[in-house]
Structure 1
Amino acid sequence: MVTAAALLARYVPQSTDEAADVARIRQLVDTADNPWHRATPLHVTASALIVHRESERVLLRWHQRQRAWLHVGGHGDPGETDPVDIALREGREETGLTDLTPWPDPELVHVAIVPVRAKGDEPAHEHADLRFVLATSRPDTARPEKPDAELRWLSLTEAHETTTSPSLRETLTRVEKLLS
């Protein structure tokens, strides 16, 4: 099992903004009883950009709450603390892809603190998002987990044009370097 603390300890931020986010997340991980607990204003999440290496396409998912095309991922379930396992579970649940594997390795590709809109009685909050890359060799088997969570396979250029998220655009840029 890999912990968020271990992943963050060996991660090298690529900008001053990312270094600030990493510092906030390290403090959260080091001091919180449960940094994954959803009730706190800032909590850890794990996510991934899914790639099909042969076609150099990435999979984006419509997130109704954020009203945006984003990558897959989310919260740890009770008792889960391994970020890679959480990203894999979320990826499988949200896409139906059963062959997902960390690529090129199970290390972080990007770390970002992202705002999340309020919904119902859940207030606006922030996700301390630990991002990975997952690969599939069977892109045609992807299926949305629910009707309002459409999936789209896109080239990297198309993905850059489709998403409105600056932090996802940065993740896409990093994945593009890995694929080239």
Structure 2
Amino acid sequence: MSLHDDAVLVLKGYEDHSGLRDAYLTHLATQPDGMWKSCHAGHLTASALVIDPERDRVLLTLHRKLRMWLQMGGHCEPGDSSVADAALREATEESGILGLTLLPGGPVRLDRHPIPAPCRWHYDVQYAVLAPHGAEHAISDESLDLRWFGYDEVADVADDSVVRLLEATLARL
């Protein structure tokens, strides 16, 4: 199965935010290259909120380009076998934590946001992952910093999209 086909299957099974889900599906139906950064109409991205083993903190990255505290995430790559694998790969690369596991149940939420030209949109498929006990993080080239934040601290450092992702994740835990 291609990554594009996997994304369509995952999105068809996603039951929340049907209007937004339908926008993702329309994008993929009208943009054969809609999975890739080269698609100037927009492209799917995959991200993951990293939850600590005790389930009371999240690991956020201070994004090097955006200078904002965000969840781990990025562009899909040809070697990704699924959108979930892309999110897990991005979370592992950006956190430096080996052994992350996806929270069951598929994507936690969807978040479409505008991006600078030449592209128009990121269609982000957002997951949550659990860090293993004893996990140690390491700052990647894409980050200025990595830091654990208690759930009650996230709204003070991150934007509303990260807060909504945390709320949706907590509803799953």
After TM superposition, the score normalised by the length of structure 2 is 0.87
SS of match in other structure, 1:149:
strand
What is aligned with 1:29?
28
**Structure 1 residues 19 and 67: CA distance shift in structure 2, 3 A:** farther
Could you tell me how far 1:33 is from its partner in structure 2?
1.5
Return the alpha-carbon distance in structure 2 between the equivalents of residues 81 and 42 of structure 1: 20
Identity %: 28
Q: Unaligned stretches of 5+ in structure 2?
A: none
Structure 2 counterpart of 1:114, one-letter code: H
Residue 158 (structure 1) aligned with residue 150 (structure 2): no
Aligned length: 169
Structure 1 counterpart of 2:152, one-letter code: T
Return the alpha-carbon distance in structure 1 between the equivalents of residues 75 and 113 of structure 2: 13
1:10 to 10, 13, 26: 13
Residue 135 (structure 1) aligned with residue 138 (structure 2): no
What is aligned with 2:113?
114
What is aligned with 1:71?
71
What is aligned with 1:42?
42
1:169 to 153, 163, 167: 163
What is aligned with 1:19?
18
Given that 2:94 and 2:143 are in contact with CA atoms closer than 8 Å, whether structure 1 keeps it comes out as no
Q: CA-to-partner distance for each residue in 1:53-86, whole Å, 9 max, x for gaps? A: 4141111111132221100011011353510110
Q: CA RMSD in A?
A: 2.0
Return the alpha-carbon distance in structure 2 between the equivalents of residues 178 and 146 of structure 1: 31
Q: CA-to-partner distance for each residue in 1:126-176, whole Å, 9 max, x for gaps? A: 100000011112464111113843111011111122102x22211111122
Structure 1 counterpart of 2:23, one-letter code: R
